[in-house]
């Protein structure tokens, strides 16, 4: 469900690789909702992969963060969306400590 006409304030970051189909699907879902997000390509970035492991316990992509909180990958945000729980997260303004 797109959020046309409603502002999205959350700070969204996607850790991804260019050849990952789930990364593409996650980006498409967020774009459909009008969400601006930062993409971090981890395909040749060992430091970013280590940060993922430390922050999520996983090196797999995509890994999506909303206001500094890991919400998982594409299947996770798609599930949140189906339950109506994604849009409220995307409308929340970032807390000062979540900004990079």
27-85, pLDDT tens digit by residue? 999 999 999 999 999 999 999 999 899 999 988 999 999 999 999 999 999 999 999 99
The pTM (predicted TM-score) of the whole model is: 0.87
Structural domain tally of the chain? 1
Within a domain: residue 55? yes
Within a domain: residue 22? yes
CATH code assigned at 23: 3.40.30.10
Q: Tell me the DSSP string of the chain.
A: ---TTS-----EEEEE-TT-HHHHHHHHHHHHTT--EEEEE-TT-HHHHHHHHHHHS---S-EEEETTEEEESHHHHHHHHHTT-HHHHHHSPPPGGG--
């Amino acid at each position: 469900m797109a959020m046309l006409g409603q502002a999205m304030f959350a700070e969204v970051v996607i850790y991804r690789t260019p050849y990952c189909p789930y990364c593409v699907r996650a980006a498409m879902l967020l774009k459909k909702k009008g969400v601006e997000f930062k993409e971090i390509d981890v395909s040749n970035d060992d430091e970013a992969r280590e940060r993922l492991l430390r922050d999520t316990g996983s090196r797999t992509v995509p890994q999506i963060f909303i206001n500094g909180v890991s919400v998982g990958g594409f299947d996770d945000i798609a599930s949140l969306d189906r339950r109506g729980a994604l849009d409220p997260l995307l409308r929340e303004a970032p807390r000062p400590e979540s900004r990079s």
